[in-house]
Structure 1
Amino acid sequence: MNAIEPALSDPPATTPNDDLRRGAIAAVPVLLGFIPFALVLGAQASQRSLAAGEVALMTGLNFGGGSEFAAIELWTSPPAILVIVAMTLLVNSRHLLMGATLAPYLRYLPLRQALGALFFMCDESWAMGLADARRRGGFSLRYYMGVSLCLWGTWVCFTTLGALVGPLLGDLHSYGFDMAFAAVFLVLLKGMWKGVQAALPWLFSLITAALFYLLIPGGWYVLAGTVAGLVSAYLWAKP
């Protein structure tokens, strides 16, 4: 292996089980934060007439909370498939960049193992895996998978549980639970705030989404606001 290539080997003092256990333990604080959001998502899905098995299938195959909340919000009867698919692709497009940063560490693995690692990737496991690699001087696939599998299992189990208890809760809007994910995004935006000038694409996205919401029926306002924000950010960054 070339000296400048990312190291994939674990430190010699650890065993495979040690790194899996280390990843699982490191995931505990994060998965505790997953639980309320998973319950809210499952309960919201049940309000849209999705069965618990369907919720488990959705969250198990598409491990991306933001796109799943967006899909449930856009869900109608019959569902607007094209809008939901387009929104899911836009929200999950960040995984392209995340996967690219992991590629140097996974390139030495058999394709089946590399694809499996990417399938279980989420924002938290990606960040924790890279942070661990920087601390220890080498990427531990077993640590990363210990984190990823614990987070994935928690998400699927508690979204399913939320779907089962959702009908007992009644209208979630009366509890304010439906604002949970929006509140998290507001906190994230606060952390990303770099001044009024840098936030102009956000404003353009908001105005576009509001106009589509008022003038065009359906969930197109979500897609329109997202595209407007991306285009305006690109144009604003050009000299």
Structure 2
Amino acid sequence: MSNLDVAEASVSERTQHQSWRGLQASFPVMLGFIPFALVLGSQAAQKGFTALEVPLMTGLNFGGGSEFAAVELWTSPPHVLLIVAITFLVNSRHLLMGAALAPLIRHLPKRKAFLVLFFMCDESWAMGLADARKSGTSLSLGYYFGVSLGLYLTWVAFTTVGALVGPVLGDVTRYGFDMAFPAVFLVMLAGMWKGVSAALPWLVSLLVAAATYLVVPGAWYVPAGALSGVVAAFFWARSS
């Protein structure tokens, strides 16, 4: 075996190890995805989506918040422009999330960089970013895709299950399934905690989003919260 073959085998083994590490790390979040995915699939079925259309929506979009918004707004015939606009607003936070990842994936070829962005959701973004900062290197593709593929397959599979069993179970939110995602986000925030000072932009974002939600109809609270957090972080960093 040549030195090149040995090097390639070593890289492949290291990538597999990182992928397995990412899959293991994502397992608790995957469990948190299941009840929320069942709720979405059930609600979509109640709006007339078939068990084929639900995985098409969740697989091509992969953004839970925007999918819930789209299902909530769905009518027959659907108001396509309104749904597209709200989906864009809800997913607008991905612009900021992608900007945060950009320095870590700048060296990648476009094909791999686009895959990173396609599989990016709140959880994979937070876990990938935290792992890169912990290791002090660029984004570990093996770890990131281990996390992302586990979350992606769980989300698509269980939204489909929700679409199949939802009509039988009825309103699944009465079982408390809709509390799963807030619990997952609280766990992620706890893992990213760096003290009160670093959390102030998060507090600003929370307060602005909550106030916007109460006084402005629609999904404007999402970009309002995201942008206010970024602005607060910018000014806080300058004053520090």
TM-score bucket (shorter structure): 0.7 to 0.9
Give the structure-1-normalised TM-score. Answer: 0.75
Residue of structure 2 equivalent to 1:199: 207
- Per-residue CA distance 1:116-144 (angstroms, 9 max, x = gap): 11100111111111111122222211100
Say if 1:195 and 1:107 are closer, same or farther in 2 by CA, change over 3 A.
closer
Mind listing any 5+ residue stretches in structure 1 that lack a counterpart? 1-11, 210-221
User: Does the CA-based 8 Å contact 1:83-1:223 persist in structure 2?
Assistant: no
- Cα pair 2:41 2:161 within 8 Å, conserved: yes
Shift in alpha-carbon separation, 1:21–1:176, aligned structure 2, 3 A: closer
Q: Which residue of 1 aligns with 2:115?
A: 116
Partner of 2:40: 41
Structure 1 counterpart of 2:216, from 194, 208, 220: 208
CA distance in 1, matches of 2:168, 2:220: 35
Amino acid at match of 2:95: L
Instruction: Identify if the C-alpha distance between structure 1 residues 131 and 176 changes in structure 2 by more than 3 Å, giving closer, same or farther.
Output: same
Letter in 2 for 1:101: A
> What residue ranges of structure 2 are gaps of 5+ in the alignment?
1-10, 191-198, 233-240
Aligned-residue CA RMSD in angstroms?
Answer: 3.4
1:146 corresponds to which residue? 146
Confirm or deny: 8 A CA contact 1:71 1:84 kept in the other structure. Answer: yes
Q: Tell me which protein shows more helix as a share of its residues.
A: 2
SS at 1:50 equivalent: coil
Deviates further, 199-208 or 91-100: 199-208
What percentage of residue pairs aligned between the two structures are identical?
A: 55
- Alignment of structure 1 residues 41-190 onto 2, 5 Å: 41-138=40-137, 139-172=139-172, 175=174, 180=179
Distance 1:185 1:28 in 2: 12
Cα distance change of structure 1 residues 205 and 108 upon mapping to structure 2, 3 Å threshold: same
For this pair of structures, how many residues does the alignment match? 210
**Which residue type is aligned with residue 163 of structure 2?**
A
Q: Is the 8 A contact 1:23 1:143 kept in 2?
A: yes
In the alignment, is the contact (CA less than 8 A) between 2:42 and 2:162 conserved in 1?
Answer: yes
Paired with 1:94 and 1:186, the residues of 2 have a C-alpha distance of 15
Q: With structure 2 as the length reference, what TM-score do the two structures score?
A: 0.74
